[in-house]
Chain A
């Protein structure tokens, strides 16, 4: 199997789905000639032409709104937001229409679009290029919100997202884009949307994370084992909404000690929903209050201080040790 970065793996997913199905259309700002500012769509215009790889004028709301129309007509648009910080222009179209057309038309229409956006901190970028606002989307009924954590699951989940009959917001952790390579099978592979995954087995505590936070979380799990002899069960959410709580609940019931890690701000963040599910379904098995290791409730600082904002290994270990001491 070839080893790929997440950027290459996403490119592979787009290329193969476009080859297989001529209803798949890529559109967005600079996705064609430039190949996308992160090069996720690199070379697609050479293979599929301007008819299917569409460089649009600069208007995020129009990109989303037009994607809705294309999708209702039976195409499968994959639109790109250059950065998630510019995707709020699409909120009206996505909330008012993409998420509701199945319901509003009582099943006659549906919106099989994918809205891709790089998100998250850690690449020394400008303002609006580093935040994590996944809950904005996760809170909207009718939408799916997917966040891969590595090349292989990114490719497999993007394929699933393109084929999904419902609108999918696909957030790509840009800190992971070129951070490491992973074996990605050339042949088709899909991962189910709405399923979390156990990525490390343990019995002492549960660490729940997703996206770029998987790496510090796994590093913390390894350090906990090496330095403290503690075995952490680590779960990668992969889909934020609809949230699959079966694995979380099973693990929490077993370990009784749980921390959830995300770079989004703490209050009303994805961790709040995880805590609520565990309180509802594993309350009598919990040995300690569920910990949240998250970004602070401030605007993510410009890049010179962003590493202080982003949860790192020491903060995860600190939370884990408190859980174990409880």
Chain B
């Protein structure tokens, strides 16, 4: 009886195109037109500065708890920049730069983070899903959307985001397995930011990479430098093109880092060192991409300054629009909306009782 190694078709590559020293592998450089490159740069900058503004709004008590994205902009934007509007994005909860790229208005992010459900409304001209908080749960929705796309004969693709922690959930494994079995047009984008709150990536799995988990489900997996927007773009684009052409699903692991807190309720000093954070700061995706664009003659110091000013203005305008919008959201009766297509009678009774209590409370100067 033989005991022979099995010839498995899969291998796992690590892709880096623009490394942390700013060195470019021109043989791998993706063809991205100048307008798109500049738009990517602007969105990166906008997302970073907006994240910082949200943090200051949170510290001032003007919004609630939220999950900052700083450090992960390249891993967000590279994954969605190659998509068409008709493709679907199925996010977790820390992909704000991707949301912005796909057209989410900044003010909706403020409204949502200030505890108004209206902030997660998806405009009619966008297909993307609202954020999903229970870790890993959204992965299966992307698989279902991809199945439905193929059923309807569309050549669209579903892209879903999740973190390193999510790869421990059953839903992740079930999603990859179904996508493999049904050969579906879905791209699984793992934001491996090294920490699931206090649990480091090394305690999440004994696997050397997260990308290799694809092999178990018979789909390709690739690990990329997640702070290298060119690498993320190239890997995601290859996966999207393959999915669109009927070649099935791919797992793309973006190796990146959460520079800030898990959420504003978290204290990372309890579980990781400042030295580690500092080391990752030196791998920041934004200066790296700026260096690349400057070398290409697309960006200058003055142009960056002008972009910074434009971005600051855009953010300020969004904060003002959000504050205007929130003034119109004071009516608590809005909490009865959207529970059902048609409000059941017992809920109408509860709503009527709430209106009566509100009126009585107003007389006494309290809320119901």
Contacts and interface: CB of A to CB of B under 8 A. Distances in A.
Interface of A: 29-30, 32-35, 37, 55, 57-59, 61-62, 85-86, 88-89, 124-128, 266-267, 296-299, 301-309, 312, 314-315, 318
Contact of B329 (A55, A58, A61, A304): A304
Interface of B: 64-65, 112, 114-117, 119, 133-136, 165-166, 168-170, 196-199, 203-205, 263, 265-266, 270-271, 329, 332, 334-336, 339, 344, 346-347, 350-351, 354, 357, 360-361, 364, 366-368
Contact of A58 (B166, B332, B347): B166
A255 B331 CA distance: 38
B270 A33 contact: yes
A304 B367 CA distance: 13
A305 B115 contact: yes
Contact of B350 (A29, A34, A126, A296): A296
Contacts of B168: 57-59, 62
A32 B347 CA distance: 43
Given A29-B197, A34-B271, A301-B335, A314 B368 contact: yes
A34 B336 CA distance: 38
B169 A299 contact: no
B135 A305 contact: no
B197 A30 contact: yes
Contacts of A61: 169-170
B347 A298 contact: yes
A318 B367 contact: no
A266 B117 contact: no
27 contacts: A33-B270, A37-B266, A55-B203, A57-B165, A57-B203, A58-B135, A58-B169, A58-B199, A85-B134, A89-B134, A125-B65, A126-B64, A126-B263, A266-B350, A267-B346, A296-B335, A296-B354, A298-B347, A301-B334, A302-B117, A303-B64, A303-B115, A304-B115, A308-B367, A314-B360, A314-B367, A318-B357
A124 B344 CA distance: 28
Contacts of A86: 134-135
Contacts of B266: 37
A interface: dominant SS:
loop
A29 B199 contact: yes
Given A266-B350, A308-B368, A30 B133 contact: no
Cβ-closest 7 pairs across A and B: A303-B115, A34-B198, A304-B115, A58-B165, A57-B168, A308-B332, A301-B335
Contacts of B112: 302
A124 B115 contact: yes
B366 A85 contact: no
Contact of A59 (B169, B198, B344): B169
B198 A297 contact: no
Given A59-B169, A304-B116, A124 B65 contact: yes
A37 B197 contact: yes
A318 B199 contact: no
Given A301-B117, A302-B116, A33 B335 contact: no
A308 B64 contact: no
Given A37-B265, A59-B169, A124-B65, A305 B366 contact: no
B360 A318 contact: yes
A61 B116 CA distance: 30
